[in-house]
Amino acid sequence: MGFDLVLLAGDLTNFLGPDHARQIVEPLQASGVPVLAVCGNCDQPTVESYFRDIDIDLDRRARTVDGVRFIGLSGGLPFGDLPYERTEEDYERVAAEAFERAAEVDGQPTILVSHQPPHGTACDLARGNHVGSRSLRTAVEQYEPDLVFSGHIHEAIGADTIGSTRVVNPGPWFQGRSVVIEADPETGSVEFEIRAP
């Protein structure tokens, strides 16, 4: 099965820099499939610079690929002293920026790629507590993207909904986990399947 696009939802480097990210991104790009990425809270700022330099950075941006609109948000809520953290106030601001940019580009459906999951779903449960962003949830409720693809909470593998928006966290890529998303720009439909080894 061929893919039209690879989406990376952050934490590619586990505190390492762009050389490590390059080891992941370059083979994907060499396959000829476009790549879009956001940084996770464990990615150094130099990783985001690398993503920008090679034009795959999706943070606070909107892109259309094959008629489908993608927007992205990097980072995670403060959790110790990690390289890429955003506060709830930051998420309120950057989510609004991202969704405003999404309105400027054509495409349907709309898929949000956010390392940090929205609060109050099966995709943000850590040790029985919801640890997602409340500001991001508010933005999802307001702007109603068709799908939120998140990561960050390694143990919160699953899918849920916020209103009409579906939310998915396939779990960590380093464990061989992924999600295959099928989006139809003709009908606006989005289907997905979580895959595990």
The CATH code of the domain that includes 94 is: 3.60.21.10
Rounded CA-CA distance 124/53 in Å is: 31
**Among candidates 70, 74, 72, which has minimal Cα distance to 44?**
74
Q: Please tell me which of 75-84, 105-114, 133-142 the model is most confident about, judged by mean pLDDT.
A: 133-142
Domain count of the chain? 1
Please report the sign of the dihedral spanned by the C-alpha atoms of residue 75, residue 100, residue 25, residue 55.
negative
Tokens of 71: 């927007």
The answer to whether residue 110 sits within a structural domain is yes
Tokens of 194: 């979580």
Rounded mean pLDDT, 70-90: 92
Strand locations in 60-184 (E): 62-65, 68-73, 110-114, 125-126, 129-130, 147-150, 158-162, 165-169, 178-183
88-102 and 134-143 are packed helices; what angle lies between their axes, rounded to 10 degrees?
A: 20
Rounded mean pLDDT, 61-88: 93
In the predicted model, is pLDDT for residue 57 greater than 60?
yes
The answer to whether residue 15 sits within a structural domain is no
The answer to whether residue 53 sits within a structural domain is no
The answer to whether residue 29 sits within a structural domain is no
Q: Which domain holds residue 162?
A: 60-195
Spatial CB neighbours of 174, under 8 Å, sequence gap ≥ 6: none
**Among candidates 163, 102, 107, 109, which has minimal Cα distance to 137?**
163
* Per-residue pLDDT at 173: 84
In the predicted model, is pLDDT for residue 1 greater than 80?
no
The answer to whether residue 8 sits within a structural domain is no
The answer to whether residue 103 sits within a structural domain is yes
Mean pLDDT for all residues in the chain: 93
